[in-house]
Amino acid sequence: MEFANRFGLASQLFQSVLERRLGPMGLTPPQLSVLSHLARKGSPLRITDIANDVQVGQPAVTKMVAKFAANGWVVMQSKVSDRRSKVAQITEAGGQHLVDVQRALLPEIGPYLMGWDREDLEGFTKNLMQFARFLDQLGDLDDPSEKGISNKKT
């Protein structure tokens, strides 16, 4: 339980820092997540797919992408296979804005991590990635639609 308590506290503190520092940059943590996801994927994505991948509601993602498009960070395109369907793709300006935000978001992290041994940092990163995959799998188990499980009572 000590691990869960410490991780929960660290997570809450990190979220607080994100919220405080992203506001002046014109973003919220979910918006940062969506913009980061678009950059990571690098290819055009449907709004539905973005919403599912980042676990944010489709109406919210639609509003975010509209904001991003208005700022020139994302371009909306018609899908080749179905002209009625639109896809979003990050622009060069959006990628640069993301880099700028990431660099400005937590400048203290570099000096903090300089005190870590390389092996400790690599081990921490590896363990954090494994823990994230574990949590992601739990999310799949908790979502009945992911496993073809109905939540209807029979």
Distance between CA 21 and CA 7 in Å, rounded? 21
Lookup: tokens for 141: 């188990």
Burial (CB count <10 Å: 0-12, 13-18, 19+), residue 61: buried
pTM of the model: 0.74
Q: Would residue 77 be called left, alpha or beta, if left means φ above 0 and alpha means ψ between -120 and 50 degrees?
A: beta
End-to-end Cα distance, the chain? 36
Residues in contact with 52: Cβ distance below 8 Å, sequence separation at least 6, in sequence order:
none
**pLDDT tens per residue, the chain (154 residues)?**
898 899 999 999 999 999 999 999 889 999 999 999 999 998 999 999 999 999 899 999 999 999 999 999 999 988 776 667 789 999 999 999 999 999 999 999 989 999 999 999 999 999 999 998 888 788 666 555 544 433 333 3
The answer to whether 70 and 40 are in contact (CB under 8 A) is no
- Nearest 5°: the CA angle 14, 67, 41 is 65
